[in-house]
Amino acid sequence: MNKTKRPIVIAGNWKMNLDRVQAKKLIEDLKTGLSSPVLLTIIVCPPFTSLETAHQAVQGSQIVIGAQNMDYRDSGAFTGEISPIMLTELKVKYVVIGHSERRQYFGETNTTVNSKIKAALAHNLIPIVCVGETLDERENKLTDAVVSRQVVAATQGLTSSELKKMIFAYEPVWAIGTGKVCEAKEANRVIKIIRNTISNSHNEPGLGDSIPILYGGSVNAKNISEQLAESDIDGSLVGGASLKADEFLSMIEQAQNISKLSAASH
């Protein structure tokens, strides 16, 4: 499957930033600056407290709302957790699962990632599943093994049709919030490994080629075009740069231009 058959996705992960007033303002600025029609999938992922405000603010635009995390259980005595049912009631469409900050600081494991993916799909939420290696793992030439292991564990027990509803994001841990960006050709190489791992672990040639895979990790308006020019990078999971309307709009516009060029060349 060539790249034009997969959607280009630009997703902003706001992390623990912006209150409801700030969230509404940022979305209004994005709406004002978006050229129409938008040829991409544009997702913003605010904190839980701003999800309802954000959903109301995106009305009349092509921006859709994602959450940054969720529990895999529907309800119960799990203080501080948010269930998939709570997200769907707020009209959330996407949910980030397995972000390296969740793995690093909050005990997320490959097993809980798998449980969350299954719960998200069961509630018609689209998972954006993050995988990536630490600096230590990269320096010890373990990148391919670590990423493959994470992908196999994340997709355990999923059907082909379920996998085709998902989005993956390659986010090298050493590039998140550090200002270090993974070189485009290297990010593309790892993303090809993710595709092959999906296909091989499910014994279905080409399965991985049908799934959008994003790059994330210090991606910004200066380096996004280089990333998106690669054959297997279908978009960006954007951190800090998604908090600045002008920069995020510039990234969307660059992705639009690449999308148009790609469509015209096929």
* One-letter identity of residue 183: E
Q: Could you tell me which of 28, 58, 26, 53 has the C-alpha nearest to residue 42? A: 58
φ/ψ (deg, to 5) at 126:
-95, 115
**183 annotated active-site:** no
What is the spatial distance between Cα 116 and Cα 127, in angstroms, rounded to a whole number?
9
CA 155, chain centre distance (Å): 16
101, 108, 137, 171: which is the annotated catalytic residue?
A: 171
Supply 125's token pair.
């939420």
SS3 category, 115:
helix
99, 108, 133, 230: which is the annotated catalytic residue?
A: 99
* One-letter identity of residue 18: L
Q: To which residue do tokens 């049912």 refer? A: 85
What is the spatial distance between Cα 90 and Cα 148, in angstroms, rounded to a whole number?
34
What is the spatial distance between Cα 119 and Cα 125, in angstroms, rounded to a whole number?
8
* One-letter identity of residue 180: K
| 192: β partners | none
Complete DSSP assignment for 35-80? -SS--SEEEEE--GGGHHHHHHHTTTSSEEEEES---SSSSSS-TT
**123 annotated active-site:** no
Which of the residues are catalytic? 99, 171
